[in-house]
Structure 1
């Protein structure tokens, strides 16, 4: 049963996933000339090879944009996302055919989609005409894969399971040992055993052979233990010789008449067992009485020290046996505990468990996020791309100005947290002179509005490995919370041209040793996304 359970756990933990590609569209109904996005998603392993086709048209739809493949990763899986921008300039209901994708030398065709293309009324006599509005900023729909972190409940359940399995192993082992112990007879003195065997001979008088076999075996067993001789393996004459010699060595005053009685009993026994002579019941009982008298007389003459030695030896054997049982139980319980622990680690993942305890002791610091998969995404307008531990959330803002064409703000956590990232993008309607001190003062004001105290800073030029240039502000601040005053550091990138500004602010606890490399990773991932010019 135990092996079946382990086999089931192993099979359950090693299940893979089948090769499949999910095809969806962001819209089912569009107007003539409006863009519709076809989104292909597939889960892959690191060794998988996937090729998405580059096409000019799909069915009766024209491809206006082949978007680059996005890679979204987590601890458990990697997802490839490919988007196609399509349009149609005729009204009607069209079937969007499946797209053929190469997956590890195997061609997989996605499902078909039905798209409704509606006509647009352009009769200027029936509707008012409006000025063309400024370009709208559309927030892309980004599918964020949540990393399935293990929870405290999972850890507790795993520990409970480990202890339950260990307890079951202990109970089963104890039960088996008790059954074996019940079958084993406890030590009894030789004389008590002899008396017990004599009482068990009732009813054997009608069968001389069975009677004498039982009687002589009981006598031999008694002398084998008390005199330490091979009585059970000896013949009648050898036994009598052994007994005679031993009582002489040990100076036991056993009378010659007693030995003669014993010799007569064994002679009758040989007649009954080997000559198959059926003796009278009266003689059988007399011989039994003679054996009892011989053993009783010998028992009274036997030194007490001999019996004490045998009892002590028996006690030592019993103690060793019990100690061996205890050791075997402990070994089985420890082995079960170790195997159950390894199985739990295998199911939950060593890295997940390590990250969980690190998170409990140190919190979600830079080291925690450095060991996990990051997400690359675009933010704002003009779009800027950067890599972050998690997708930044858009923050609503009422900031308006006649000079601003559009403004966007994104954030992950706050200044009071151990780590935080904030991105703000500003696009101006016309060229605006850039004054670094004004921008820096504005950003410092934002920090103070979030209760940052004692701000100290320094400025320098910035340029990363991808050629992005700008200004960098590095500084420190304190933040007061229920735990007291917390020392933090921050790094702000100010990127600009004549019509836009991008401000990226990263903050972290001053005690976080891994935070510097965490900031460098974000800074080096910053990249401009080129916009296509309208024809």
Structure 2
């Protein structure tokens, strides 16, 4: 009885498992994915339509391929998803426009479509891209043209010249504005350029119109009053008046009067002494005379200035020359001050601009921009796209690679049919690139390991030691596979690169009867060279069919 019960349970479990598997299988089969192309034969540059159709439950989430997943064909455009719904089922269709610009036979790899994160894959398709036929009976054939010298591009040089001229124009405008331009004189400068007598009278007139007395500022009033007359006496009478006490100043005036050098009467000197004594009481004893007395003292000082001017002898030629020299010296001092201000402003702008540039771009970038750096200049050149060797290696470089004549050993001549080597720089320079394409006489498979060994051996022969190589796969921009060797080493030879670290990258391709190689070396830590290498590698492509 117990055995029968156990058998029934086991049978029920198997039945449930079978039903569950059937349900899961039914769920998996509820979604279908198919793909189709409108043509398997196109001409170079023509487009084909690659259509993916998905039929699934309307609640499922479907993800179509994005970006360049159709390599070696290139996706030109991905149209919007076309949706058709019928009850609880939905049909999604998306069309991709694909093309190829090299002749040959290519395989579109299976495409991955995710339905609720479950992967489905389409079939692969073989596409033949045919050359454009040329009727040589109607099209006249010409001999291959010889190499011509390409004129150097001055685009970057012209850019730098324009930038420099603009900077000079700005600096020149600033220098003119702050230094050379004749700015209108301020009121203080106009007064300072007046003769001492005229200046004193003008200042006394301004003091009369001031608000010192109305605002009860007697100390400022009398300080300015005595400073005006003392400054006049010091400039025109040539006595030390600004630093003298009242008694000392009056004593000097009396001595000049007695010596006959200053024709002042006793009343004028006495009146002047009273004004100075009143000013001393106001400034040091905080005395506060009536407004009428203060105004009377100002009038008295004005009369003293006038009488002093009249009492002075006529200026000699030496006096006039001295006064002219003073004015010239004053003008020269003013010009010098303006020059210093202008130079300071320009220097400040240069320092500010340099500081902002260093903070934003970095010191090395600013330095290399101002003084130049070989690899930076290479990076900013107008790049050249070209094909090198047979079979051809296509890539873009800052400079056209120059053909190098390589001596082929006698034993290798029996195997090699043709060899083309093109290079810029050498292993001991800041940056170098070498491209080599070799065609053999027999349809033999290329030995990639031998090529790697030969490259590393050539580095050692050029004095490069402590080489740390790594290997990896590489795919060209059209999806053609190759081998990649990269790493670092150290220069141990003579010259400016001695003991410096360097980096290298080698690409190796090939097929039956040929090999293709690209080798690049550069100084470690050179950010400009890193950008050059990255750009070159992104443009590499090879012909793998003879």
TM range (shorter): 0.3 to 0.5
Higher RCO structure (Cα 8 Å, ≥6 apart): 1
TM-score (norm 1): 0.43
TM-score (norm 2): 0.42
